[in-house]
Each structure stands twice: as structure tokens, then as C-alpha cells.
A and B are shown apart, each in its own frame.
Chain A
Amino acid sequence: MRPSPKTIEFRELARSITVAAAADYRHSWHGVDAPMLQYVVKRLLLMIPTILGAAFIIFFILRVVPGDVCELKLGGDGGYYDPKQVEICQKNLGIDRPLYEQFGKFVVGIFTFDYGNSMDTGKPVVEEIGLRFQLSLQIAIMATLVSIIISIPLGTISAVYQNSWVDYLVRTISIAGIAIPSFWLGILILLGLLNISDWLWGIRWSPPLTYRPIWEDPYHNISQLIWPALATGYRYAAVATRMTRSSMLEVLREDYVRTARAKGLLEKLIINRHALKNALLPVVTVIGIEFAFLMGGLVVTEQVFNLNGLGQLLVHSVTGKDYTMTQAIVMIIVLMFVFTNFIVDILYAWLDPRIRYS
């Protein structure tokens, strides 16, 4: 029997796909495909101007001040200051050197982790930051976990039952999450803890104030850090929920979902296996980008819970006019943001081949 034209067409298509795949393999490098590698290199190169530009802005902002940072620090409030001290300060910071030399030193410092000394304590900035970084990073990771646990199921349910009361509830909760300032939520959580513990056990309990690493005292650590993680995680979850919902809605309208339904697949399977997997792509991006922003958002939350993290250090350095410290922390946050974005993009390209081929 002669094959029908449809079958021939199908065979042709199958052949061309095989040929393309074989060509792909031939162009690959130890199994890593060439477009992916190209994409990674391209993305990596794109990071350089961004980092340099950010360094330039930070450098520039600190030099547009009238006079210089030393005068501002020592005599900013209009008080008397010794010109000799200003000179010493300028020498210490190297701001008596020509601008291009200073900028060069700053850029080299970024990559060699040499950010100079704090204008307040005189200790290396990197040392001071290192002490606080661990705490902030832990909250950021915990908040991310909180938000993933909340957002993906809520977003999916909201999309599946679009325009039902569940959907309206989830949408309201997520819009509220974006509106509630995390510092106020933090205050409410503290207030709630005080009152609930008073009502249950008769003691007004509040989270411990001193930080202990999780491997030393897990209970102490978690009971201190879970609350700020919840306060920041809620907002984060709100953004991710909205993203999950909208991308899920889009995917549920795709032809292949209709096909799956038409062949009588269980709705549960369609949602979990077919739709959710594809819908999660943009959610990965949002979670990645928000992670980077989280480090910034912690600035306020740490203040509420009185945590000695990176954010509080930044606020102290701003109020205390410790410019080297401010400059270093802002640069580190920007670096983290750029790197997280890079990783998210790579992850995205790895999950979605269309990106690296475009």
C-alpha cells in the first residue's frame, strides 16, 4: 500500500528533525551544545559593561558632593573641624590622587575584594561586611523558600479556578502583599507574637536578639530568623503568585493542553505534568530577580527586627556618613543583582531552548 501524503509529510518532518539533532550534536562541545555555550559567553560579556557602569555611578555619586566626603563627614553638620584632620582623612582614602587613578583603584578593588577601610571603625570594609553577610543571606534564602511554598500552589489554584471566589481571594491576598510595607508586617508579627504567647502561656515572648549560626543552635537561629523571612517572604510570594497565575492562564489556553483534554487525560495530570512545568519558566525569572531585590528589601526589615545584617550596616553607614562603607555595600548588592540575573538567564536558556537559539 502506498503511504498517504500525510504519512510522507510526517516522515519528512521526522527525518529533518533527526538530521538537525545530529548536526547539533556534531557542533556540540563535550555534549554541551554550541548555542548554549555561545549564549553563556555572550551573557557573561554583557555583565562587564553593567558592572563597570554601576561602579562608575557609585564612584561618581560620591564625588559630586560639594567639597569632598571628608569635609562632609567631619563638618557636615556645620560644626568646626580641623583642616589637618581633613587632610589625613583625604590621604587615607586616597582622594588626593587624580580621579582616573582613584577610579582604576576602585574597579580593581571590586574584583579583588579590596574595598578599603571603614571611615568609622578603620577596619577593612570586607571584614565588617563578611560578619553580617551570612545573616542576611540566610534570611534571603528562607524568604525565597517561604515564597516558593506559598506562591506556586496559590497561583496555580487561582489560575485553574479563574474568576471564582478562590481566584478573587488569592488575587486580593497577593495585591495586598505588594501593598503591605514589610516593615509594618514585621511590626504586626512582633505584636502578634507578644499577644499570642501572652494569651497561650502567660509570657510575652519575642524572638531572640542575638544571632547564632544555624549549625551551632538551630532552634535559636530559626526562632530568630523565621519572622523576618516571613515578613519579606510574603511580599515576595505575592509577586510570584501573580506571575504563576498569569503564566498558568496563558499555558492553559495552549493547543497542547486542549489536546491533552481531548484525549481524556485526567485534569490533575494535565495541570501538574503538562501545564505547570511550562508555566514555571517565567516564575523562575521572577523568583531570581526578586531574590536580588530581596537583599535590598532587607534594609528595612532588619531595622524592625533589630538584626545586625547587611541592611542595617548600610543604614548605619548612611546615617553615620561612612562613605567607604556605603559605597562598598551598594556595590556588593549591585554585584549580587547582576550575578543573580546572569544565573537566572542561564537557567532560563537551559530550560527553554528557544532562548539560546534566538
Chain B
Amino acid sequence: MVTTSEMRADAKHGEIDQLEDLRDRPGLFKQFRTFARKQPLGLAGGLVVLLFIVLAVLAPWLSPFDPEASSYAHMLAPPGTVSDEGTFILGTDDFGRDVLTRIIYGAQTALFVGFTCALIGATVGLVLGVGSAFFGGKIDLLFQRVMDVFMAFPLIIMALSIVAIFGSSIQNVIIAITIPFIPRCARVVRSSALAIREIPYIDAARANGFSNTRIILRHMVPNVMAPYLIMVTAFVGQAILLEASLSFLGLGVQEPTPAWGLMLKNAQEYIRSEPWIAIWPGLAITLGVFGFNLFGDALRDALDPRLRSAQ
């Protein structure tokens, strides 16, 4: 027979083991170094992401001009034009605004929309997905059918329908992009959570009389963090692309806010005579999305061992 004191001793050993585990876990810096060594493309992506974050944060100090001030004297000036106020390194647009400045400020819009949509969309999806997996049965079945319905709308079509009704403003663009993200994240998280539900510690938690909310939030959610983080990084890139597409169609961010898609929309008219306006904003979108995708891919490889070899 096992006495209580023996059990206590066992528990203590367990705790000590856990502590040792924690001690052996490599530090953040070491983890980062391993990531950088194993995932050179991911590191490159991370650097691009960092570059855009720096651009967005330091925009007022980095950019040479005011992003919204138009100037009739310098309309459609080619790259490198020197004026009294400074040099238009990448030229100016049809309102005489500096293209470089608008690209730097555009990073603010893109990242703001990108991170907000990705975080809200993925988090709501996370809670719904884990909840559906946890309750299972009829709730799960119904939930899956509802997700099927939402997934039947291509991303941009759903976003367009939402903008069609609520009108185009930056808040509505964020709503329009966030909603289609929810089922996409919920589905991925649900499949991971289904596996976790079968692990005995969930039964143990139930046996302890913990509430459903507590089990979902404290015991299941932390264990599906890997797919969640992967989805978030993937979503940021997608959201940037979607926002640019909506703005390009004239249904997203409105003038005079600097946004890359909007810049391309205006540039279309001048493609024959002043092609530089069309090149740089597109390059910014591509580079931004490219960075997030590379980083996200590498993160997935690092966090999800099952996919490590395959992708």
C-alpha cells in the first residue's frame, strides 16, 4: 500500500523533475540561434518583417516629407527630382506627394490592418475551434457545418460582400478581413485540439471538477499554441494582401490615407508615362507578404515536427 507520505514524496520528485526540465530548456537567445541556423529563409523573412515594423514605427522620423500634403508644383516628378524641400528619391504621384514617404507610412496601415485582423481572427478561431473539439458530439457536428458554409466563400468575395453593405472605411476593412479568417483558424485548431482531448490529463482535470471554461482555457488552449502561432503569421501576410486588393478596387482604405493598394490603384492611369508610381508600392506589398510567409513557413517547420520534413 502506498502511504500518503510516499505519494507526497513522489509528487515532490515530480515537481523537481519538472523544475529540472525547465532548467534544461534552452534560453530564448539559444532558441533563437537554433532557429536562425536551421531556418535561414525564415531568418531572412523575420528580418524583412522587422524592417517593416521599424519603418512603420519610425515613419515620422524616417520619411522626408508629409505623406498627405499635395503639391501642384511637383506633380508626377520622376525619381531623383530635386526640389527646395528635398529630393524625391522615388518620384512623386499625381498629387505631387512623395512616393517613398507614402510607402513608409503605408507600412503603418498595412501592419495595423494585418496584425489586427490576424490576431482577432485567429484568437476567435482558436477559442471556437478548441471549444468545438472539447464539447464534441452534436455541437461539434453543427459547428463543422457552419464552418463549411463560411469556408464556401472565397476570402475576397466574403470581404467584398461585407464592405458592400457596411461601406469602405478602415474599420470595416478590418471587419471584412477578420470574419473570413475565423473559420480557417478554427478548423486547423480544432483538428489539433481533438487529439489533445484524448490525452488523459484532460480526464484528470475533469475528474478534479474543473469547469469547462477552465479546462478549455488553461489546459487545452496552451497546447494548441503551435498551430495558432502558425496561423497568425500566415494571416498577417494574407491580410496585408487582402487589404491591398480591397484598396486597389477602391473598396478599402480611402484617400488620403497612405496605403499600398490605393497607391497602385491611382498609379494605373499613369502606367504608360510614369511607371515608377506603379512599381514601388507593389514591391512593398510583395516584400512584406514574402517576409511574413517565409517567417511563417519557418515557424511552422520549427514548431510542428510532423511537417518538418515534408514541406
Contacts and interface: CB of A to CB of B under 8 A. Distances in A.
> Is the A/B pair a real complex?
yes
Interface stretch (B21-29, B57-65, B119-127, B283-291): B283-291
B1 interface: no
A237 interface: no
B175 to A, nearest CB: 12
B11 interface: no
A334 interface: yes
B299 interface: no
B146 A250 contact: no
In this complex, the member of A64, A171, A180, A184 whose beta carbon has the largest number of chain B beta carbons within 10 angstroms is: A184
A297 B282 contact: no
Interface string A316-355: 0111010100100010011001100100000000000000
Interface string A183-207: 1100110110010000000001000
B154 A292 contact: yes
A58 B161 contact: yes
Contacts of B281: 184
A179 interface: yes
Interface in B146-165: 146, 148-150, 152-157, 160-165
A103 B267 CA distance: 43
B14 interface: no
Contacts of B162: 61
A179 B290 contact: yes
B100 to A, nearest CB: 18
Contact of A242 (B272, B282, B311): B311
Contacts, number: 146
Nearest to B145: A49
B268 interface: yes
B157 A330 contact: yes
A187 B249 contact: no
Given A57-B153, A172-B41, A330-B161, 14 more contacts: A50-B152, A53-B145, A54-B153, A57-B150, A64-B165, A178-B289, A179-B289, A184-B278, A191-B278, A292-B154, A293-B155, A321-B164, A330-B157, A338-B152
24 contacts: A53-B149, A57-B149, A58-B161, A65-B165, A65-B166, A171-B41, A179-B237, A179-B241, A184-B264, A191-B278, A293-B154, A297-B154, A299-B157, A300-B156, A300-B245, A300-B248, A300-B249, A303-B249, A314-B157, A318-B160, A318-B163, A333-B154, A333-B157, A338-B152
Interface of B: 41, 145-146, 148-150, 152-157, 160-166, 237, 241, 244-245, 248-251, 261, 264, 267-268, 271-272, 275, 278-279, 281-282, 285-290, 293-294, 297, 309-311
